[in-house]
Amino acid sequence: MSYIAKPIARHPKLKRNALGLTHRDYEGAMSTLCAGCGHDSITAALIEACCEIDLPPHRIAKISGIGCSSKAPTYFIKQAHGFNSVHGRMPSVATGANLANRDLIYLGVSGDGDTASIGLGQFAHAVRRKLNMVYIVMNNGCYGLTKGQFSATNDRASPSKKGAPNPFDPIDLCQLAITLGAGFVARSFSGDKAQLKPLIKAAIHYNGFALLDVISPCVTFNNHAASTKGYEYVRAHNEALDRVDFVPLENEIRAELAAGETRDVLLHDGSTLRLNRLDADHDPEDADSALTAIRSRAARGEVATGLLYLDPAEQDLHATLGTTARPLNAMPMSELCPGADKLAAINAKFQ
Amino acid sequence: MSGVNDFVVRFATVNGSGSASANSIFAKTVFRMGVPVSAKNIFPSNIQGLPTWYEVRASEAGWVGRREGVDLMVAMNAQTYEEDLAAVVPGGWLFYDSSMPRIWPRQDITVLGMPIAEICAKKWRDPRQRQLLKNMVYVGAVSTLLQIDLDVLEGVISDQFGGRAKLIGPNMEAVALGRDYAAEHFDCPLPIHTRRASGAEGKILVTGNEAAGLGAVYAGATVCAWYPITPSTSLVEAFESFCNKLRVTADGEKLFGVVQAEDELAAIGVALGAGWNGARAFTATSGPGVSLMSEFLGLGYFAEIPMVLYNVARGGPSTGMPTRTQQSDILACAYASHGDTKHVLLFPADPGECFSMSADAFDLAERLQTPVIVVSDLDIGMNSWMVDPFEWDDARTFDRGKVLDAEALDRAENFGRYRDVDGDGIPFRTLPGTHPDKGAFFTRGTSHDEAARYTEDGTVHARVLDRIARKFETAATLVPKAEIVSGGAGAKDGLICFGSSRPAVLEAMDKLASDGIRVDMLRIRGFPFGDEVAAFCAAHERVFVVEQNRDAQMRSLLILEAGVAAEKLIPVLGYDGMPLTAEFVRKHLLKARPTAAVAAE
Ligand SMILES: Cc1ncc(C[n+]2csc(CCOP(=O)(O)OP(=O)(O)O)c2C)c(N)n1
Ligand code: SF4
Ligand SMILES: [Mg+2]
């Protein structure tokens, strides 16, 4: 299959954002994924979220690995540069891109095979470097593109389409990310746009490493009744720990807070994350509490979703390295090359 | 052949004993007396307790390659006494610590014993200090044996210890102990000794890795990612340390970012991501790292992303001889990755070229939009070479390649990322974030058409591959031209070499000339080969290809890529991991000649 351009149809009634753009301006090429694939729903949520928070499309860089999920960046924000790299190595490419220009927004898109199998090492190290990016895992528990083999996130005993149960324990990317020091960790479901959209917005505004692990059923290979990554199962066992609302800086209205249930978290850039806690025991600013919430749900066969963990002390690799606030890729050569007169002293040292 | 300002001294020590700094002080002192030197560090893949050798050749004639045969062995390691004794040339000298006297079973050399340990035990109480200063005692003794200028030695020691009197004092005391003992007990100076000379005047003594690291700073590299591996580590360390001196603003902001990655796959991923995003980016590694990087190198080739990879080669296969030198990654670099992949290679011959070719490498990477591999080796990278001082021309302009900015995009009609507008095979690229609605494209390793759109159309795929092949033809006109050295008018024999083989080959040519044999030399400096390479082969009846690997890899590349007939190319191969010597080249060339003559008939 080759590239399919999407016909541009402009509806005069489409809502425009602060840049005068509509959702259509955040779309990409026509998706070539299977009809009903969870990945397309995540793409749709990304399009709406980016539009609604007024991101200039061309100031986004989309980077992915290999897989059905990693193809998704072609299907949103065509005015943004994209980079479909190699299998499991999106984090390193994103690290380099971010080092070169810290002013863009980096959306990393990956699959569960891409991240939890071949790319587990790169994932872990991007987390611990606190790379400022949104890392989206379109998690279907299988390798879609190579026809449905189990991936490392597939639950133990969850059967394949042909019925063979998975003999291995899953890697829980959210638990792993929390343990490794990610600043923002959320889990959601491709079928729950109302939950997913504000999480995407908040993750983009978070200055640091933000993981969105989105369960995204593979309708072709892993969506049968017994699969724990299918629509039916996740709809029935989804346990939202909280509801998140994202309020950008300029729209902020200080609403009355219902004590004990709603909490505002002010992000680095002035916007607000409004958290409506559904589970009073879960404190998203406490890593242990977050891990317990995930594990206790998993023990009951449930999937904890929502904002699982948030470190309000946002940290970023550039701060650690002490790099200049200006993008390195825009630095004039005259500032980078020390010039001939500096050489005299250097040569003298070797004399 | 040995004599005044013409000798080899070898220090046999134990690694981790502090001898490295004493040995380099010795080399630097001879160098500062104006005598051309080359220093080779022959070290183990180990941190402490194993044998290590440091070999210093002085050559007033200016030969800076390694020379076989040791004139003076400073045998400080009992573990290696036997082989150290064997390495001394007949008529040579062996100096050792005679605190435990022994009989040396050779009558044809002179043994010089000094009870160093005993003397040191009397002088210093602290064992650590005793250990370190012991090294300076033998340096002192050797300096008298070789009539080395004390003032120069003191100057070097003072520089080494940053002028700190507290350190200089004890070191000079140790030197004096050695000097006094030698003056009293030995026939000083030895027939091999030093005198002031001018051959090294105005030169610098530097390793290739320091030079390449500095070169990357001058080339404007801002992003570096790496994973530690001998012998490339010191290149990145040099880059970072020069950056900390030269690339930090008054407010303390760094105009560079160095990431020690989790492995080489990540290191090259970072470099490619940064190159894609418009920064000059590089990584440095050695053979095992190149193997790990090959998938990404293929992506860089096909998606056309600039970056520079320094491969400081060591002895393979596998972990091989990690602390010895070889030129055995030529084919692995030229064709790194699956599919129809080829890479642009540069071959610096010494630290001077490591510096100057760095800027060339980054220019070429951006001009050609492809990974450029600088193929150095352990000998160049980690040993101290005497070269001309680094030079930089402030009028030099950088070639940032075909990048369209927002204005150019507004003017451009029909931008296509992979369209060959100029007929040189090199398309135009854009950087992320440049223009609100023009110039965005999708970079991918899957097949794409001229507008960067995914395709499974075989004709389009073949067309794109042909265009990249055209780009490679352009590359052949842009890489540094080969160096050609005439062996005298009408020489029928040619010799091709590259990289660290240069000094040994030049010296061998000189020796062969005295044997009455004239050979022209061509030193390859870049790949794809320029026309001069095939022309050189055509102009000679037979061509010896000197290289430091078993399988004659450069010869294969010449056959494959320069269309030279296999029969014409006679391999001369050294692959024992030691820097090449002129004697080796001469001997093997002479040996290869008669058979070659038969083959040519
Ligand atoms: C080095 C390498 N090994 C194997 C493959 C084959 N491969 C392509 S996609 C894929 C798995 C993708 O799984 P996942 O990341 O979960 O993406 P999904 O298709 O499920 O969205 C594999 C193994 C490859 N492209 N590269
Ligand atoms: S195979 Fe599965 S993951 Fe891939 S596009 Fe189809 S439904 Fe989606
Ligand atoms: Mg998957």
Chain A residues near residue B274 by CB distance under 8 angstroms: 96-97, 99-100, 328-329
Query: If contacts are CB pairs under 8 Å, which of residues 8-37 in chain A contact chain B?
Result: 29
| Residues B105, B86: Cα–Cα separation, whole Å | 10
Which amino acid is present at B456?
E
For residue B560, the model assigns a pLDDT of 98
CB atoms within 10 A of CB B595: 10
Flag if B271 and A338 touch (Cβ within 8 Å). Answer: no
- Give the CATH fold of the B6-185 domain: Pyruvate-ferredoxin Oxidoreductase; domain 3 (3.40.920)
Pocket test for ligand 1, best of A143, A160, A216, A220 (most atoms within 8 A of CB): A143
On whether any CB of chain B is under 8 Å from the CB of A63, the answer is yes
Which atom of ligand 1 is closest in space to residue A151's alpha carbon? 16
Note the pLDDT tens digit of each residue in A209-224. 999 999 999 999 999 9
Q: Residue A253 — pLDDT band, cuts 50, 70, 90? A: very low
Measured between CA atoms, the residue of chain B closest to residue A347 is B389
Note the pLDDT tens digit of each residue in A311-341. 999 999 999 999 999 999 999 999 999 999 9
Measured between CA atoms, the residue of chain B closest to residue A334 is B220
Kindly report the protein residue whose alpha carbon is nearest to atom 26 of ligand 1.
A87
Q: How far is the CA of B160 from the centre of ligand 1 (A)?
A: 54
Shortest alpha-carbon distance between residue A263 and chain B (Å): 35
On whether any CB of chain B is under 8 Å from the CB of A100, the answer is yes
State residue A209 phi and psi, 5-degree precision.
-85, 120
Q: Residue B595 — pLDDT band, cuts 50, 70, 90? A: low
Which atom of ligand 2 is closest in space to residue A38's alpha carbon? 8
**DSSP-derived 3-state class of residue B232:** coil
**DSSP-derived 3-state class of residue A321:** helix
Q: A245 pLDDT exceeds 80? A: yes
Measured between CA atoms, the residue of chain A closest to residue B266 is A92
Chain A residues near residue B456 by CB distance under 8 angstroms: 1-2
Which atom of ligand 1 is closest in space to residue A139's alpha carbon? 16
On whether any CB of chain B is under 8 Å from the CB of A298, the answer is no
Measured between CA atoms, the residue of chain B closest to residue A95 is B270
Kindly report the protein residue whose alpha carbon is nearest to atom 5 of ligand 1.
A87
Whole-Å CA distances, B54 to A221, A268, B8, B115, B234: 63, 56, 10, 22, 18
Residue range B524-533: average pLDDT?
98
Cβ(B270)–Cβ(B283) under 8 Å?
Answer: yes
In chain A, domain spans: 23-321
CB atoms within 10 A of CB A332: 8
Residues A23-321: name the CATH superfamily: Thiamin diphosphate (ThDP)-binding fold, Pyr/PP domains (3.40.50.970)
Report the mean per-residue pLDDT for chain B.
96
Note the pLDDT tens digit of each residue in B541-565. 999 999 999 999 999 999 999 999 9
H/E run at residue B95: strand B88-97
Residue range A59-76: average pLDDT?
98
Closest alpha carbon to B70 in B7, B26, B112: B7
| Residues A292, B491: Cα–Cα separation, whole Å | 81
Chain B residues near residue A59 by CB distance under 8 angstroms: 433
Report the mean per-residue pLDDT for chain A.
93
Torsion, Cα of A301, A210, A127, A38 (10° steps): 50
Contacts of B326 by beta carbon, 8 Å cutoff, 6+ apart: B313, B314, B315, B316, B320, B377, B378, B548, B549, B575, B577
Measured between CA atoms, the residue of chain B closest to residue A341 is B392
| Residues B290, B146: Cα–Cα separation, whole Å | 44
Mutual orientation of helices B150-160 and B127-145 as an angle, nearest 10°? 150
Flag if A101 and B432 touch (Cβ within 8 Å). Answer: yes
Cβ(B65)–Cβ(B507) under 8 Å?
Answer: yes
Flag if A97 and B432 touch (Cβ within 8 Å). Answer: yes
**Between these two residues, A3 and A83, which has the higher pLDDT value?**
A83
| Residues B189, B9: Cα–Cα separation, whole Å | 14
Note the pLDDT tens digit of each residue in A103-137. 999 999 999 999 999 999 999 999 999 999 999 99
Instruction: Among A121, A333, A335, select the one facing B263 at the smallest CB separation.
Output: A121
| Residues B429, B296: Cα–Cα separation, whole Å | 19
Closest alpha carbon to B139 in B28, B237, B59: B28
Residue range A34-51: average pLDDT?
98
State residue B543 phi and psi, 5-degree precision.
-130, 120
What are the start-end ranges of the H helices in B277-319? 287-303
Pairing between strand A184-189 and A209-215?
A: parallel
Shortest alpha-carbon distance between residue B433 and chain A (Å): 5
Helix, strand, coil distribution of chain A in percent, nearest 5: 35, 20, 45
For residue A290, the model assigns a pLDDT of 95
Instruction: Among B225, B259, B295, select the one facing A86 at the smallest CB separation.
Output: B295
Q: B428 pLDDT exceeds 50? A: yes
Residue B3 burial by CB count (10 A; 0-12/13-18/19+): exposed, middle or buried? exposed
Percent of chain B with pLDDT over 90: 94
Which amino acid is present at B321?
M
Q: Residue B18 — pLDDT band, cuts 50, 70, 90? A: confident
Was domain B483-600 assigned CATH 1.10.10.10? no
Contacts of B514 by beta carbon, 8 Å cutoff, 6+ apart: none
What would the CATH number be for the domain defined by B206-387?
3.40.50.970
Kindly report the protein residue whose alpha carbon is nearest to atom 5 of ligand 2.
A33
Residue A242 structure tokens: 């909280």
Flag if B440 and A325 touch (Cβ within 8 Å). Answer: no
| Residues B358, B209: Cα–Cα separation, whole Å | 11
Which amino acid is present at A294?
I
Closest alpha carbon to B442 in A59, A78, A189: A78
Torsion, Cα of B8, B11, B15, B18 (10° steps): -110
| Residues B262, A345: Cα–Cα separation, whole Å | 35
Flag if A96 and B275 touch (Cβ within 8 Å). Answer: yes
Q: How far is the CA of A68 from the centre of ligand 3 (A)?
A: 7
Measured between CA atoms, the residue of chain B closest to residue A125 is B262
Note the pLDDT tens digit of each residue in B346-355. 999 999 999 9
* Chains A & B: contacts with CB separation below 8 Å: 239
For residue A3, the model assigns a pLDDT of 63
Flag if A92 and B249 touch (Cβ within 8 Å). Answer: no
**Does ligand 2 come within 6 angstroms of the Cβ of A39?**
yes
**Does ligand 2 come within 6 angstroms of the Cβ of A184?**
no
Cβ(B457)–Cβ(A2) under 8 Å?
Answer: yes
| Residues B177, A47: Cα–Cα separation, whole Å | 79
Q: A252 pLDDT exceeds 70? A: no
Shortest alpha-carbon distance between residue B43 and chain A (Å): 22
**DSSP-derived 3-state class of residue B204:** strand
Percent of chain B with pLDDT over 70: 99
Chain A residues near residue B155 by CB distance under 8 angstroms: none
Pocket test for ligand 2, best of A30, A40, A68, A149 (most atoms within 8 A of CB): A68
Best of A76, A79, A89, A320 to disrupt the B interface (most B CBs within 10 Å) is A89
Flag if A83 and B254 touch (Cβ within 8 Å). Answer: no
For residue B1, the model assigns a pLDDT of 58
For residue B601, the model assigns a pLDDT of 37
Shortest alpha-carbon distance between residue A304 and chain B (Å): 31
pTM, to two decimals: 0.96
Chain A residues near residue B222 by CB distance under 8 angstroms: 99-100, 328-329, 331, 336
For residue A7, the model assigns a pLDDT of 67
For residue A258, the model assigns a pLDDT of 47
**Does ligand 2 come within 6 angstroms of the Cβ of A221?**
yes
Pocket test for ligand 1, best of A43, A70, A114 (most atoms within 8 A of CB): A114
Conformational region of residue B147, where left means phi above 0, alpha means psi within -120 to 50, and beta covers everything else: left
Fold: same for B206-387 and B483-600:
yes
Q: How far is the CA of A140 from the centre of ligand 2 (A)?
A: 9
In chain B, domain spans: 6-185, 206-387, 403-478, 483-600
Kindly report the protein residue whose alpha carbon is nearest to atom 1 of ligand 2.
A144
| Residues B150, B128: Cα–Cα separation, whole Å | 25
Q: A256 pLDDT exceeds 50? A: no
Flag if B223 and A99 touch (Cβ within 8 Å). Answer: yes
| Residues A270, A53: Cα–Cα separation, whole Å | 13
Q: How far is the CA of A82 from the centre of ligand 2 (A)?
A: 20
Q: A22 pLDDT exceeds 80? A: yes
Cβ(B273)–Cβ(A93) under 8 Å?
Answer: yes
Cβ(A54)–Cβ(A31) under 8 Å?
Answer: no
End-to-end CA distance of chain A: 63
Q: How far is the CA of B295 from the centre of ligand 3 (A)?
A: 21
Note the pLDDT tens digit of each residue in B458-506. 999 999 999 999 999 999 999 999 999 999 888 999 999 999 999 999 9
Torsion, Cα of A336, A339, A344, A349 (10° steps): 20
State the complex-level ipTM.
Answer: 0.96
Radius of gyration of chain A (CA): 21
| Residues B369, B302: Cα–Cα separation, whole Å | 10
